[in-house]
Amino acid sequence: MIIVLAFIFFLNILPLIYGFSSSLIYDNSFTLKIFLSTLKAKYFYLSLFISLLYALFSSILSTYISIYTAKIFKKIYFPFLIIGWIIPPYIGVPIFRSFLEKYTSFNTNPIFSFFFSVFITSWFLIPFSTFFIYSHIQNINKKYFEVFQLDSNNISLYYNHIVIPNIKGAISSILFLNFISAFKDFQVPWLLLEGGAPMKIGITFKGVIGATTNLEVLIYKFFYQNIDSAYIGSIFTITIIILTIMYSLRKRVKVSFKITFSNKLLTYLWLFTIFIFLIILISLSFFTSPSIYIKGNFTLENFRIIFHPTFYQALLNTIIISVFSAFCGIILSTFFAFKLLSLHIGEKVLEFFNFSKIFFGLHSLIFIFYIFSKIHILNTYTSVILVIVSKNLPFLTLLSYYTFKSFPKGLYYIAKLDGLSDNKFFFKVLLANNFPLISSLFLLSFLSGFNAFLPPLLFLYDEKKYPLSLLLYNYVGTFSNHYPQWNIFAVISIVILLILTLVTTTLVKIMDLSQLKYY
């Protein structure tokens, strides 16, 4: 228990303290100068406005579509949901970029780039949102549907009048979660256009604020340019304050969604884009030219890359990170949840712990970077694994807690009568009889580790330790990369998606999706 609490303090609480204190120290002395100047800065308010608008549009669009995708969940579209869920942004965003770069002028049109970024962010949020809403729909009494069928066969009418009113709380929750996720999104705006397209109004003394330069991108640019940590700390502190205010107001937000032709149309558009995504990915992999503008000749030579030592090393690094992250996450979360069950304030502790997860993002990773640099664990697998486990721990603990809470207490008392200690009961009885939970925790943790991009990007600088995410990033980079190798990128992406599909389809048959309602 002490180890878990120390882990939480070190990676969840200490970065908040470090970030806040950094905003008050400049030239080795205490001052409010930088913090107050940030509150007056044009670049900050532009970036904040973009973050809020970006999050608002992304959360509404993703939730609106997810309501209908949850309705058709059991049909033939389920494979598309799985594919959409496992596609990491470091693959998805560059593929979208390859299409937009070739056929549009999105890199010079601020409005176009902003709304395309919103669409792509929503695109990634839809699968989990669908699983979440579907898990709540499954809890609705089936007798409602039986009674409704006596009067009407209109399923959409049933959803609008029975289902949606009964899951309003769940819809509000996922809307809020999507808002927070989009507010903190770094990968989409960065990998698409590095925070662009440029705007005339965005010219400031700290650089150009583009149409997608949200607060996370702004912080990363400051960090990359070695701007004093006081400026980063000031933006970090204000970001934390804003997230806290949003969290406190989440229950006051009233939402009203319905099944209409619009979200049906948008759902099928989303499904169609998955199909288009796969076509683009496959087509890029079979041609000799690395450019998207020159098609080249058909070839299978590109697939030789999967026999190259660089690919094997990156794959091995990824497996090490994802497997260790999964096992550490499972052990820590289940044991912590088990101990919380014996505390009177267990649920309050759990609630606070899950509240802290909204603060995780690039803004907090910057200060974890500073902490890791002081204890000399940068450029190690350990630094990446610790952060991934820290990110996953609140949710995994939440799932474990409510699963264990429903476990028959009689078995615990029988075990105690037989002289079984709490620790032996935990390992030999509780974990042994909750295999669907363990499968769920492993899948969620494994995907998080396998798809990790930000922690490796910040903490690893030895290419021999790069996971697949950074290997792909090296091939196509960001929009400013003048010599991307799209064909090699596509081949490796296909291999990654095949691995993720195999793991996910195997474990999703065992895991209980209804557990996502506790998120």
How do residues 499-511 score in pLDDT, each as one tens digit? 999 998 888 776 6
pLDDT digits (tens, 9 = 90+) for 178-205: 999 999 999 999 999 999 899 999 988 8
Question: What sign does the dihedral 473-479-481-485 (CA atoms) show?
Answer: positive
- The count of structural domains within the chain is 2
Same-domain status, 47 and 165? yes
Residue recorded with tokens 């090490």: 320
Least confident of 160-164, 371-375, 472-476, 477-481: 477-481
Note the pLDDT of residue 512: 55
Note the pLDDT of residue 415: 78
Q: Is residue 7 part of a domain?
A: no
Question: What sign does the dihedral 228-229-235-238 (CA atoms) show?
Answer: negative
Preceding peptide of 197 cis, ω within 30°: yes
| For residue 367, pLDDT beyond 70 | yes
Beta-strand relationship, 207-208 and 203-204: antiparallel
Note the pLDDT of residue 353: 86
Question: What sign does the dihedral 176-443-320-424 (CA atoms) show?
Answer: positive
Note the pLDDT of residue 34: 92
Same-domain status, 270 and 322? no
Same-domain status, 278 and 306? no
Note the pLDDT of residue 242: 92
Question: Where is mean pLDDT largest: 47-51, 159-163, 417-421?
Answer: 47-51
Least confident of 148-157, 291-300, 423-432, 484-493: 148-157
Instruction: Compute the distance between CA of residue 424 and CA of residue 181 in angstroms, rounded to an integer.
Output: 39
Residue 273: which domain range? Answer: 42-285
pLDDT-above-70 percentage for the chain: 97
pLDDT-above-90 percentage for the chain: 59
Label residue 252 by pLDDT band (50, 70, 90): confident
Instruction: Compute the distance between CA of residue 282 and CA of residue 304 in angstroms, rounded to an integer.
Output: 15
| For residue 206, pLDDT beyond 90 | no
Same-domain status, 483 and 514? yes
Instruction: Compute the distance between CA of residue 147 and CA of residue 362 in angstroms, rounded to an integer.
Output: 50
Task: Answer with the one of 231, 260, 285 that is the final residue of a domain.
Answer: 285
- 3 state DSSP class of 390: helix
Nearest to 517 by CA among 66, 180, 139: 139
Least confident of 29-38, 67-76, 346-355, 385-394: 67-76
Note the pLDDT of residue 40: 92
Q: Is residue 297 part of a domain?
A: no
* pLDDT top residue among 198 and 515: 198
Note the pLDDT of residue 75: 66
Least confident of 155-159, 188-192, 238-242, 273-277: 155-159
Note the pLDDT of residue 408: 83
Instruction: Compute the distance between CA of residue 4 and CA of residue 8 in angstroms, rounded to an integer.
Output: 6
* pLDDT top residue among 206 and 401: 401
pLDDT digits (tens, 9 = 90+) for 305-346: 888 999 999 999 999 999 999 999 999 999 999 999 888 888
Token pair for 363: 């803004």
Same-domain status, 152 and 178? yes
Instruction: Compute the distance between CA of residue 116 and CA of residue 109 in angstroms, rounded to an integer.
Output: 11
Same-domain status, 414 and 497? yes
Same-domain status, 314 and 352? yes
User: Residues 63-85: what's their mean pLDDT?
Assistant: 86
Q: Name the strand (E) or helix (H) holding 373.
A: helix 362-375
| For residue 517, pLDDT beyond 80 | no
303: left (phi over 0), alpha (psi -120 to 50) or beta: alpha
CATH code, 343: 1.10.3720.10
Note the pLDDT of residue 255: 75
Note the pLDDT of residue 235: 95
* pLDDT top residue among 107 and 480: 107
Label residue 386 by pLDDT band (50, 70, 90): very high
Note the pLDDT of residue 516: 52
Q: Is residue 194 part of a domain?
A: yes
Q: Which letter, b or e, does each residue of 198-214 get, where b requires 16 or more Cβ atoms within 10 Å of its Cβ?
A: bbeebeeebbbbbbbbb
pLDDT digits (tens, 9 = 90+) for 130-147: 989 988 888 887 777 777
> What is the Rg, in whole angstroms, of the alpha carbon atoms belonging to the chain?
24
Q: Is residue 18 part of a domain?
A: no
Same-domain status, 310 and 268? no
Helix ranges (H only) for 138-228 are 142-149, 155-158, 164-166, 168-183, 187-193, 215-224
Same-domain status, 517 and 470? yes
Instruction: Compute the distance between CA of residue 108 and CA of residue 84 in angstroms, rounded to an integer.
Output: 28
Task: Provide the β-strand partners of residue 25.
Answer: 30
Q: Is residue 409 part of a domain?
A: yes
512: left (phi over 0), alpha (psi -120 to 50) or beta: beta
pLDDT mean across residues, the chain: 90
Same-domain status, 63 and 143? yes
Label residue 272 by pLDDT band (50, 70, 90): very high
Q: Is residue 34 part of a domain?
A: no
Q: Is residue 117 part of a domain?
A: yes
Note the pLDDT of residue 514: 52
Question: What sign does the dihedral 154-157-161-165 (CA atoms) show?
Answer: positive
CA distances to 40, 70, 77, 82, 104 from 74, rounded to whole Å, are 52, 8, 7, 12, 36
Question: Where is mean pLDDT largest: 120-124, 207-211, 257-261?
Answer: 120-124
* pLDDT top residue among 217 and 151: 217
Same-domain status, 306 and 281? no
Q: Is residue 113 part of a domain?
A: yes
| For residue 265, pLDDT beyond 90 | yes
User: Residues 214-231: what's their mean pLDDT?
Assistant: 93
pLDDT digits (tens, 9 = 90+) for 415-443: 777 778 888 888 888 888 888 889 889 99
Same-domain status, 264 and 373? no
Instruction: Compute the distance between CA of residue 63 and CA of residue 164 in angstroms, rounded to an integer.
Output: 12
Note the pLDDT of residue 295: 78
**What predicted TM-score, i.e. pTM, was given to this entire model?**
0.93
Residue recorded with tokens 């499954």: 138
